[in-house]
Structure 1
């Protein structure tokens, strides 16, 4: 009888990493009805995400028969917060602790699971945990990287750390300089991930991200046989790019989407926003969200809301709690009695169920920072995008949206990092207006929605690849 596969899924404690990792954990449970899955993230995020009864191995999935466990690991801190946001200045120090203590704690976790009669057969880890592969290798357990960005970004990093870094370094200040990397179209430096253009200097406050990516590719290169990389994308999105990372066994298994209610680091507003959407005409609402880490300066907040109001279109806008409080203070200073969640043409909330919103017929456009989770969710739901990228992979994601898939447009800031109201208004009209260009974007978005459904459906490319990975874990390959 074949051994029962047991996947240990490890992730960094940020919402944009936790969400796809937890979604993959649930996909693995569904793909292999006999599999065990343990999901683990540092303790602070674990406490914020899961109910008291779920902590410490209580499961948490109805009907999972104890197959799913939620177990934290230590990142060396004792504080009840996750890295990022207001604490970014401390980030490099946090990363040093995360790497050292995480390695030790995850090793103990793997040993403890084996002692309980639940030995791990495959470790799956996200981007910022290169040491997870070493922990697995030391114990004779195969591992796989879960790449939660597009294949194109994987290829860019690969070539940067394999002989092409100097040309990027020499021109990092010239965002218009064009770089040619094997297997990729010519790319402007301004399209490359920010961690290889802006964070290579040891004095940079995010330099530890750059060094972690460097260590990650060193880890992948040391794997024997070739490293396995699961990518949260589908083959149809990036078929021509896959050959650019032929050094690894790359399996496209996405988009990995939510399956029901989803745990998160942020408390959702009540569902009044869904009731509000229910009253709006089809394709009439602009949905706006820039992710969980984006804190807007007052100038940007003013420009954003002015542009939305000036567009004359309905909108649902997600703002962090601190930005929402800034908005309320501004209204009070003006002597207005604005409802805590509503403006003239729209509604502002602190958080919402994004896939549920994007799936609603009233939503006709998504103004997004182009985080990869948001891009995948928008394409899957067939919603055109206005991209407002800032950092990490977002600039390349925006390029894919506009140039490769043609499901949206990119809004340009003023040169000072501020998206002006007029530019936002113009770009929204480009995808929601009555002209032929906007109609073509909407048709293309609908076509990609169908392509994603086929890839995820039984026998589709992503379904086949995930099945192959599960069977490989079962057989010990």
Structure 2
């Protein structure tokens, strides 16, 4: 049997890096050779890359020093990544073949549908690593499939029934990129359409979804005509089945993290701390930060808040906020989220509801206060509150600000003694158990990983 060689190409942002790295570690741990590929700048920015037998890294240069925040804009950056990346990827694949290590499966993440075209030209199987939930993929497929896609034929005022087992979805529950007034819809809709099209064009291709079958059974049934494989939760193994206690972080952080918060957490009672983080991309308005701060302080509960600064002006604002913290709370610029969520002191998580954060909370058994900002976060919040029952969705005002009173109300539900809060906490514990069972030997995700090794070997 030929040597299995997986090449995983990912976009260099934190939410894409984490699941890509974890999939790479899981495959390499099964004895395969895995090469992770991104841009030069992206690879340089990643701190503490995992070192594992069979795991290696490669990168390629792009225009504007690989800076997608340059004046040329995000869409221009992605376009140049396509034109330059296609050529560089083809050369890299040819080099591996010349060196006697041909790639047997080419894996790519969202924003990179052109990778599947390169794979087809080289007659190499490809897989789309979908880093959102399976329900989001079902929505994209419902909108953009070539047979009966509903994109452009929907009335925004009418709720839709995606699946019989799911509640009605209003337009505001759908991924924001599908909404005509979204700033990025003009860019993202063609990208999402292309993702679905390239999958339809190649019957050998398949989709790897960062979820587990038990969590989204009905969504998997709805897209059963496609080759869909659940490979999640893509979480460091120390926090899943405990099969590798040394695997405690994803590696590849783009941000420098604090370390002193663990000693602080160790001093707190079980399930008492409110953890707050809005991920690596979302930028909160100053008014929203102030409302969160007031809600946390007025709650009278200990809290750990991750508050990133993207410029000197924000740094000054955050210094002022830190100085204004009264009571038992700390603010840090970044942290190891999976380690924090697994700490026994954490009682709930105030989150933007990005899929990585949502999945990490499920694995940790931590209930959520959902404050979605954009992208698939609105869909995740819908599922958390109405399907999985592991949290509550905070309601924003007309200016899209979640006010302090609303945040406090949600916190009281999750940490208080009300029946609703008890049910939510019980559901969180239930899903944690099912997530861990999925990755254990004989579980659905464990078996799916074996399936990938078999079909690409």
**TM > 0.5 fold call:** yes
Could you say if the C-alpha distance between residues 305 and 138 of structure 1 is closer, same or farther in structure 2, counting changes exceeding 3 Å?
A: same
Could you say if the C-alpha distance between residues 329 and 182 of structure 1 is closer, same or farther in structure 2, counting changes exceeding 3 Å?
A: closer
1:341-360 correspondence to structure 2 within 5 Å? 343-360=326-343
RMSD: 2.2
Give the drift of 1:286: 0.4
1:260-279 correspondence to structure 2 within 5 Å? 260-279=248-267
1:16 counterpart residue number: 15
2:215 counterpart residue number: 237
Q: In 2, are the aligned partners of 1:45 and 1:265 still within 8 Å (CA)?
A: no
Q: In 2, are the aligned partners of 1:10 and 1:124 still within 8 Å (CA)?
A: yes
2:195 counterpart residue number: 216
1:299 counterpart residue number: 287
2:274 counterpart residue number: 286
Could you say if the C-alpha distance between residues 157 and 366 of structure 1 is closer, same or farther in structure 2, counting changes exceeding 3 Å?
A: same
CA distance in 2, matches of 1:253, 1:343: 43
Between 160-169 and 362-371, report the one with greater CA deviation: 160-169
Tell me the secondary structure at the aligned position of residue 120 of structure 1. coil
2:51 pairs with 1:61 = yes
1:43 counterpart residue number: 40
2:64 pairs with 1:77 = yes
Give the drift of 1:136: 1.0
4+ runs of 1 displaced by more than 3 Å?
Answer: 74-77, 163-170, 181-185, 322-332
CA distance in 1, matches of 2:181, 2:55: 38
1:467 counterpart residue number: 450
Could you say if the C-alpha distance between residues 308 and 89 of structure 1 is closer, same or farther in structure 2, counting changes exceeding 3 Å?
A: farther
CA distance in 1, matches of 2:307, 2:341: 17
Could you say if the C-alpha distance between residues 348 and 25 of structure 1 is closer, same or farther in structure 2, counting changes exceeding 3 Å?
A: same
Tell me the secondary structure at the aligned position of residue 383 of structure 1. coil
Q: In 1, are the aligned partners of 2:322 and 2:331 still within 8 Å (CA)?
A: no
2:27 counterpart residue number: 28
Q: In 2, are the aligned partners of 1:386 and 1:410 still within 8 Å (CA)?
A: yes
Give the drift of 1:13: 1.2
Task: List per-residue Cα deviations over 1:145-169 (Å, max 9, x = no partner).
Answer: 1111111111100010136655665
Task: List per-residue Cα deviations over 1:225-280 (Å, max 9, x = no partner).
Answer: 4x311111001001111121123111111101123333234333331111110111
Q: In 2, are the aligned partners of 1:430 and 1:437 still within 8 Å (CA)?
A: yes
Q: In 2, are the aligned partners of 1:43 and 1:74 still within 8 Å (CA)?
A: yes
1:57 counterpart residue number: none
CA distance in 2, matches of 1:143, 1:183: 31
Tell me the secondary structure at the aligned position of residue 429 of structure 2. helix
Task: List per-residue Cα deviations over 1:112-155 (Å, max 9, x = no partner).
Answer: 22222211010011111111111111111101111111111111
Task: List per-residue Cα deviations over 1:269-327 (Å, max 9, x = no partner).
Answer: 33111111011111000000001111122111111101111111111000112489647
Equivalent in 121, 126, 131 of residue 143 of structure 1: 126
2:243 counterpart residue number: none
CA distance in 2, matches of 1:140, 1:384: 45
CA distance in 1, matches of 2:453, 2:254: 31
Q: In 2, are the aligned partners of 1:88 and 1:205 still within 8 Å (CA)?
A: no
CA distance in 2, matches of 1:277, 1:88: 41
Q: In 2, are the aligned partners of 1:285 and 1:364 still within 8 Å (CA)?
A: yes
2:244 counterpart residue number: none
1:94 counterpart residue number: 77
Q: Which runs of 5+ in 2 are unaligned?
A: 237-246
Between 261-270 and 295-304, report the one with greater CA deviation: 261-270
CA distance in 1, matches of 2:72, 2:42: 19
1:429-440 correspondence to structure 2 within 5 Å? 429-440=412-423
Give the drift of 1:101: 1.4
Task: List per-residue Cα deviations over 1:154-195 (Å, max 9, x = no partner).
Answer: 1100010136655665434x4xx3013466633111111111
2:382 pairs with 1:382 = no
Tell me the secondary structure at the aligned position of residue 193 of structure 2. helix
Could you say if the C-alpha distance between residues 266 and 337 of structure 1 is closer, same or farther in structure 2, counting changes exceeding 3 Å?
A: closer
1:436-455 correspondence to structure 2 within 5 Å? 436-455=419-438
Residue correspondences, number = 445
Equivalent in 87, 92, 99 of residue 116 of structure 1: 99
